[in-house]
Chains A and B, each alone.
Chain A
Amino acid sequence: MNGENISFWEKLGKIDRRWIFLIIGLVVFIPIAFGLRMTVHVSPAVKSAYDTINRLPEGSVVMISIDYDAASMPELQPMLKAILRHCFDKNLKVILINFWPLGLPIGNQGLEEVAREYGKVYGVDYMNLGYRPGDIAVMLRMGTEIRSVFYGDIKGTPLDSLPMMKNIHNYDDIAVVVGLEAGSMGDYWVQYVNARFKQDMILGVTAVMAAGVYPYLQAGQIKGLIGGLKGAAEYEKLVNHPAFGHIGMASQSWAHVVIILFIILGNIGYFMERRRKRGL
């Protein structure tokens, strides 16, 4: 009898990871397949981001930086679309910019899709600056004159021939910069653009990075923080347009619960095994 118990506790502490992978896979897939939804509650950090954009008067310019690629698209693209819907709802002008070349088509697709929904006109209501190599150098140069880096937009059209760009020269003409970050560009935005040019910033980051961005939020260097898919779902709720963020919430919730259950099982197995060894 004791031999069977020992074997059981030890097994509990050393479950083959393939079982874990299988169960996680099912827990993520089933809620999406069956369309399960959960109520989302808005956090102060996301509300702060929303309020920053909501306070802007009509015609203000919002620059959105696409600093992610296909890998982080599931977390950040819903944020992009929710923010674009908010901007177009309020008739704000949107400028898209890229610092990740592989994110360029993703950002452009999202922008064109939402702009079409709202009947917005390219060059009048929104435009896409595209990508230039140089990261920090580009950010610093835009503080003086955007045209010193971007002679034309993503299609090569000279900026001065776009009606909305006529009076936009540098960060002083931009109300808010929203950085959608999967890497270190967010740090550069804060350290260079916010610190030197006092530009108001909002960061939307992957969930993993969110903990590291809270110092900026607490210090007032960014006006709002949208973290992970949950942050995207919260912003979707605020703009009354539940979309992919909401779809992922049930899967994410139950995946977290399953991980916690596995941790508990592992600890039970660990403690029972330790107790057995002490008893020997």
Chain B
Amino acid sequence: MLKKQIPLAITFITGVIIVITFFIPHPPFGRLQQDALTWYSVIFGFTMLLGVDSLVRFHYRKLRRREKGWWFSIIFYGGFLLSFITGVVSEVRFGDAFKIGSSFMYFYNTILIPLQSTMFALLAFFIASASYRAFRARNIDATFLLVTAVIVMLGRVPVGYMLWHKLPNLTSWILNVLQLGPMRGIMIGIALGTVAMSLRLILGIERTYLS
């Protein structure tokens, strides 16, 4: 009984306090929200250890039992130890792991940046294949979507101006007027949904996080 009631009580009390302090700037209330966010950051720092522990144990199990794809776990340990060791060594040697010229920055520039950029670059290919597959004029709505997409795609690049000098203006109108209403509607809907969910959480109606 207490296992559920205590967390619900904590949620209710802190939720109500944070909502009330939003309207009260007088100390100590005015700073409570910021302090709560700071506490969350501290707690989050410790939970990163949880994640690292889970990952290390997951790959150790794979290695020990020679499960399918166990060699990827060697790569994991290699990368993990490499970044950890070079980070510590660079911090001790230069006083700053991110100092240009340190071994940590060398691996950052030669491994992490190319890898991240490559993954992001995949989007260009996937957008092309997804567009080709998805943009079919099956009905009037899909046709409007298709035409609008073509206008915006052309208007947002220099070739659009070359084709018709007013195309960028039309694109601007679509972005500033036509899509603005629906975008705002979705934003407001999400915000209201979040408020409703938060209210359910504070009142203890929504208990998903307790499991």
Contact = CB atoms under 8 A, between A and B. Distances in A.
B41 A262 contact: no
Contact size range, B: 35 or more
Interface string A238-269: 00000000000110111111111011011100
B172 A263 contact: no
B44 to A, nearest CB: 7
B77 interface: no
Instruction: Please indicate which of the listed interface residues B98, B168, B172, B180 has the most CB atoms of chain A within 10 Å of its own CB.
Output: B98
A15 B156 contact: no
Nearest to B171: A43
A89 B156 CA distance: 28
Contact of B168 (A43, A133, A141): A43
A214 B176 contact: yes
Contacts of B168: 41, 43
Contacts of B117: 70-71, 73-74
Given A140-B37, A228-B156, A267-B136, A104 B98 contact: yes
Contacts of A211: 175, 179, 183
Interface in A208-233: 210-212, 214-215, 217-218, 228, 230
B45 A133 contact: yes
B179 A214 contact: yes
Interface string B25-62: 00000000111011011001100000000000000000
B158 A262 contact: no
Interface of B: 33-35, 37-38, 40-41, 44-45, 95-96, 98, 100, 105, 108-109, 112-113, 115-117, 119-120, 124-125, 127-129, 131-133, 135-138, 146, 149-150, 153-154, 156-159, 161-162, 168, 172, 175-176, 179-180, 183-184, 187
